[in-house]
Amino acid sequence: MSNPVIKVLIVEDDNLIAKRYQMILTKDPEIECVGRAASGYEGTMLAALTKPDIILMDIELEDKQAGLRASSEILNYMPNVKIVMLTVNETDDTVFRAFEIGVTNYLLKNMPAEEILSAIKDAYYDMPSLHANIAGKITREFKRIKSTEDSLIHNFHILTKLTPTEIEVLDLLLQDYTRQEICKARQVEPSTLKSQINSILKKFNKTSMQEVIPMLRELHIPQILAQRKGGIPFQDKPHI
């Protein structure tokens, strides 16, 4: 008994690249190219009309995120379709987002014909095999997200230990006030402010605010502090 023919839709806006894929597919008797689209919208419509088994989806079509949007839309209504993303310049976060959406595999456009055919068949038979470079990017992104979550939880715990006065001082430091400006705004002596800052540093287990400020900005703590009741508005300096 012969294997079923795998129906493949190509969504690629570069005509030369699309033709290359078409030539590769036509040389394999187990694969049928059922159409080619040049935009995310066309790809979505053709997917509905041709009901392909596999879609080779360029990630950058009419804009840099069009392939991701089209993939999300297609998988929302046709969850059994397998999508293999195509790109020339992948980044960790883009690769991770693609797999979050539900794509099956991710290929570089310049990969040899046999690897493209293998990726299509692996996807069809539910045996996806990631290129080592892509697998590494996913692993790194998972680690980055986990690290950010751990850091956010850790620093949130520290923030709960700060006194209201220390939170106000930290808020002003995050808004790039100088120590002199903070002393004038809060009507305190430099020695008092120094003591308050040292207390903040001790709780964060750091030796300098230059270590604390960038870390909190990366976690969007200034925006969070700006929303608290009675807080000093973010980016709006008081009259001092």
- Reported pTM: 0.56
CA distance between the termini of the chain: 85
Between CA 124 and CA 108 the distance in angstroms is 19
Confidence at 158, pLDDT banded by 50, 70, 90:
confident
| % of the chain at pLDDT higher than 90 | 37
Which range, of 51-55, 123-127, 223-227, averages the lowest pLDDT?
223-227
Between CA 162 and CA 172 the distance in angstroms is 14
Express each pLDDT in 69-101 by its tens digit. 999 999 989 999 999 988 876 555 666 677 778
Interval 107-131 mean pLDDT: 81
Domains along the chain?
Answer: 6-139 (3.40.50.2300), 161-226 (1.10.10.10)
